[in-house]
Amino acid sequence: MFTGGSPSFALPNFIAAARNRLKLHRLVPLRVWVRGYKSNCSAHSGRDVAWWAVALAAGVCVKSPAHAQAILPLAPPPLPPWSAQEVFQPVPYAELWSRTPGQSIAPEDTPVKTRQRPGYDPVGIRFHSWMFYPQVTAGAFYNSNVFASNINKQSDFIGEFQPSIKATSLWDRHQLNFDAYSRSLEYSRFSGLDQTDASVRMSGRIDVRHDIAILFKLRAAYLHEEVGSLSSPTGAIQPTPYGYTFEDVTYWQQFNRLAVSFGARNENYNFGSTRAQNGAVINQDSRDGSINVGHARVDYAISPNIGLFTAFEGNERNLRGTPTSSLSSTGYHALSGVNFRLTSLIGGEVGAGYTSQRFDDPRIGTVAGPAYRALITWSPTRSLDIKLKGEEITTEAVDTITSAVRASAIQLGADYELRRNLIFSMSAAYEHDKFFGQVREDNVYAVNAGLDYLLNRISSVGLRYKFVRRNSNLPTSTYDRHEIGIDVTAHF
């Protein structure tokens, strides 16, 4: 915290403030536009309950090949110390650390999407030193192009059912969280597209000392790649199933103005098969394997509102491939930049660096070049947040042949609180994908819109709209799609 003119940071104050904001990392979405779970990380105050619940109600995306874009849509970033496990996400540490003990930001000054809304946030069920948050979402939506085709487009109506439960400890020291969900989609006309996803996850924080914490996350899931997603095989007419496991352990420590973290992550994929338009089986065993990642980040607070950061991530992708085509690669991604909160109206994080990925397949070779990432938020009023995001990454784009993709994107979004219980969100994005290993370049345009109506503490209604258009120099990869739906959620 800052007292007078002498800056001095203390982890107990930092963790106390962080607990008042968020103890659990971002949750897995059930579809791009579905609202995340509403829940709570602390039972010490109603304000804590409310903030944690609405923070998750925004819904965010996890790394997954199930999207039309390589770069994920706008979403609230995790707060410290959980941000240490996602080193390239913006960290509002300077603003957070500058608070005095026990001081908290007024609800109307927090982001529109994640702020407290007393009277509309779920209370949860307390059992001894645990809080439980059951939830059920049911909805329906219309998809104008279920097979992501540029000819003979087929539409359908889809029903969705999504039960979930979450549990979090209420201990004064340490933290342990569990969550599980199941999500089923049932198509009216094309039953071959029916799918059921399921996931269980545990995360926790071990407080070694007042200035040291060890963070961990474990997850096991059975998921599906959407037809038409970036990595879905060309010509696939069914979702591609895959098993997924995730483990991450991160060490975090603070030295006055300096915060340091480093950790290791392992992801494992086990893909099933899908079918082509002619009925042939598309075997995806070549994509089985693991991704090992080492990550680190250093933050230094120059003042309460300005800080510097350096983030680094190295990876080794060991994928099965085929006898004639390897999918494995090694690489790194490094960024350095500034984190700022100039006034109560504008803040964000801007970074630049370098990325390199060396693929074993000589047809791809090494994909390298400058990298950048920026997220700026402008709040002209307390009811409106406008966000601008730009990013460039190198990743894999598994098609029917080996390929890599260098993606750059710009996204503009806004969250507007029409009333305390009525929130409108909208975003537009442009992405350019350059492929390596095949002669292909794509331009992707996307629009997302949503309206959330919070009826009371136990129920809410949401309206969703999504448009995606992918223009490719490969005609078979060009398509557009409209999706519009409604969902009703009951939470306790």
Q: Is the pLDDT of residue 33 over 80?
A: no
Helix 11-21 vs helix 46-57: angle between axes, to the nearest 10 degrees? 70
The amino acid present at 257, given as its one-letter code, is R
Chain centroid to CA 226:
17
Closest CA to 261 of 205, 223, 303, 316: 205
What is the pLDDT, as a whole number, of residue 407?
A: 86
DSSP state of 45: -
Q: Any idea which architecture 10-491 has in CATH?
A: Beta Barrel (2.40)
Could you tell me which residue, 402 or 75, shows the higher pLDDT? 75
437 — pLDDT class (breaks 50, 70, 90): confident
Note the pLDDT of residue 284.
86
Above 60 in pLDDT, residue 95? no
| pLDDT above 90 for 415 | yes
pTM of the model: 0.79
Residues 6+ apart with CB under 8 A from 77: 26, 83, 86, 89, 90, 91, 92, 375
H helices of 248-341, in order, are none
8 A C-beta contact, residue 293 and residue 312: no
State whether residue 487 is helix, strand or coil: strand
Residue 368 reports pLDDT greater than 70 = yes
Domain boundaries, the chain: 10-491
